[in-house]
Amino acid sequence: MKPEHNATSDLQDFDPNYPPYVERVFIFDVPAKQTPMRLDVFLTEYIANATRSKVQTAIDAGNVTVNGAIAMKASRKVLPLDHIECRVMRPPPLALVPEAIPLEICYEDDSVLVINKAAGMVTHPGFGNRYGTLVNAVLYHLGVREAIPLEASNDEAFEEDNDNDTEASNEDDEELAPSFFAPSGSEASLYAHDSVRPGIVHRLDKDTSGILVVSKEISCHAKLAKQFADRTAKRQYYALVWGKVKEDVGVIEGNIGRSSRDRKIMSVVAQGGKYACTEYEVIERFGACTLLALKLRTGRTHQIRVHCSSIHHPLVGDEAYGGLQPNISGGNSNSAAIRHHVTALLQAIPRQALHARTLGFTHPVSGAWLEFAAELPADFAAALEVARAFTK
């Protein structure tokens, strides 16, 4: 089998993050000793990541030919010496483009780079977020000036598009990031390039602000990644959640997995999922919300957001997990005063109110303990002022 790429539309007018799709053609010359089997079964078996339903869709659309004729039925038998072509539409391959984007650098030496990431910045490129990411900015900061083309893996032919601006993506609050030094899954081709040197050790959601560390050397990346995996690195988050959290300190436990209602988000699940545990401490209570400091004992996708929502205290502004329509206990949540306060808070911080405030780790070369703290960004601080002004 061999894929071929052909442009399918004019490149003049398009969002650069969503460029025109290209056609990929998979060609099979069936061996003489091939056992006859259904066409959809054959293609599902021989194209990585293909599903039978997606193959059937391609057949129904007339995108599969056998011996030059369009295959009319998925049940058609594949016979020895058949020549099969299957066409699918995919986004074009990614490229890493250095961009002169300002970064707030907290610390830098020859081995590591500590950055206070602004809310609204995606950590690394992906389909739907090819530009404007932290990686684009770091590449430029480290002196890279030429774009680095990256061929997409053949394995991605039938995969869903990845969009770091959606919860279905691999953009993840707490889990280790696939990096240029330690790629994982289908992202391997994106990060395995000799010219690329920044190693993203961990990542934050697009709309989560705060501290993260970038490794500048392969050996340092491995040592830093181990600290995050072993939970010996120190990380503290601040979150503003709806309602008054009763206990001064507490622990939230509950397995986290894909939501059965919406695969784009996560949820606490009764069966399956992965064990997750979050510690919290109340920093300040307000009339309708609470400021929490949180520490992760595990690192699951959107763990803080999911856990806080599961105890009926979703993060202010968290669209995916109930933070736009809070159910505030202890009063009439539909009163004019409450509605006005909710609107004011959401206007002050139009994103989830989550900030990676503290990061500490052992330097991978010197062995010294380094610790950094990022003050709350302006929108988070403004939300706290609105919260303090409200009394029920």
Q: Rounded to whole angstroms, how far apart are CA atoms 277 and 176?
A: 16
Looking at the domain assignment, is residue 371 inside a domain? no
Looking at the domain assignment, is residue 368 inside a domain? no
Q: Rounded to whole angstroms, how far apart are CA atoms 203 and 191?
A: 15
pLDDT at 160: 43
Bridge partners for 202 per DSSP: 176
Whether residues 118 and 199 fall in one domain: yes
Whether residues 185 and 216 fall in one domain: yes
Q: Is 14 helix (H, G, I), strand (E, B) or coil?
A: coil
pLDDT at 332: 52
The answer to whether 364 and 219 are in contact (CB under 8 A) is yes
Of the residues 90, 116, 136, which one is the last residue of a structural domain? Answer: 90
Tally of residues, the chain: 392
Whether residues 153 and 203 fall in one domain: yes
Of the residues 45, 70, 90, which one is the last residue of a structural domain? Answer: 90
Whether residues 101 and 185 fall in one domain: yes
Looking at the domain assignment, is residue 365 inside a domain? no
Within 10 angstroms of residue 115's Cβ, the number of other Cβ atoms is 23
pLDDT at 194: 45
Whether residues 219 and 318 fall in one domain: no
Whether residues 305 and 244 fall in one domain: yes
Structural domain including 187 reads: 95-230
pLDDT at 240: 98
The answer to whether 109 and 368 are in contact (CB under 8 A) is no
Which residues are designated catalytic?
205
Whether residues 118 and 170 fall in one domain: yes
Whether residues 143 and 199 fall in one domain: yes
Q: Rounded to whole angstroms, how far apart are CA atoms 116 and 209?
A: 7
What's this model's pTM, rounded to 2 decimal places? 0.74
Whether residues 247 and 304 fall in one domain: yes
pLDDT at 13: 58
Looking at the domain assignment, is residue 297 inside a domain? yes
Burial class (CB in 10 A: 0-12, 13-18, 19+), 68: exposed
pLDDT at 333: 57
pLDDT at 334: 62
pLDDT at 150: 67
Q: What's the angle, vertex CA 10, arms to CA 4 and CA 15, rounded to 5?
A: 100
Report residue 55: phi and psi, to 5°.
-65, -40
Burial class (CB in 10 A: 0-12, 13-18, 19+), 142: middle
Within 10 angstroms of residue 3's Cβ, the number of other Cβ atoms is 16
Whether residues 224 and 256 fall in one domain: no
pLDDT at 256: 96
DSSP string for residues in 376-387: PPHHHHHHHHHH
Whether residues 225 and 247 fall in one domain: no
- CATH number of the domain residue 30 falls in: 3.10.290.10
Looking at the domain assignment, is residue 369 inside a domain? no
Q: What is the DSSP letter of 178?
A: P
The answer to whether 169 and 126 are in contact (CB under 8 A) is yes
Structural domains counted in the chain? 3
- CATH number of the domain residue 267 falls in: 3.30.2350.10
Looking at the domain assignment, is residue 115 inside a domain? yes
Place of tokens 């929502």: 309
pLDDT at 186: 35
Q: What's the angle, vertex CA 240, arms to CA 304 and CA 343, rounded to 5?
A: 125
Burial 144-173 (b: 16+ CB within 10 A, else e): beeeeebebbeebbbbeebbbeebbbbbbb
Looking at the domain assignment, is residue 322 inside a domain? yes
Bridge partners for 257 per DSSP: 267
Whether residues 182 and 102 fall in one domain: yes
Q: Rounded to whole angstroms, how far apart are CA atoms 182 and 318?
A: 31
Q: Which of 26, 173, 9 is nearest to 86 (CA)?
A: 26
Name the amino acid, one letter, at 284: E
Rg value, the chain, Cα? 24
Q: Of all helices (H) and strands (E), which one includes residue 292? A: strand 289-296
Give the side-chain half-sphere CA count within 13 A for 152: 23
Looking at the domain assignment, is residue 363 inside a domain? no
Of the residues 64, 90, 116, which one is the last residue of a structural domain? Answer: 90
Residuewise pLDDT in 10s, the chain (392 residues): 444 434 444 444 557 777 777 788 999 999 999 999 999 999 999 887 788 888 998 999 999 999 999 999 999 999 999 999 999 877 677 778 899 999 999 999 999 999 999 999 998 887 677 889 999 999 999 898 888 876 544 444 554 443 333 333 333 444 444 444 333 333 334 444 444 446 888 889 999 999 999 999 888 998 999 999 899 999 999 999 999 999 999 999 999 999 888 878 999 999 899 999 999 999 999 999 999 999 999 989 899 999 999 999 999 999 999 999 887 765 455 688 888 999 999 999 999 999 999 999 999 999 999 999 999 999 999 999 999 998 76
Q: Rounded to whole angstroms, how far apart are CA atoms 333 and 325?
A: 10
pLDDT at 20: 73
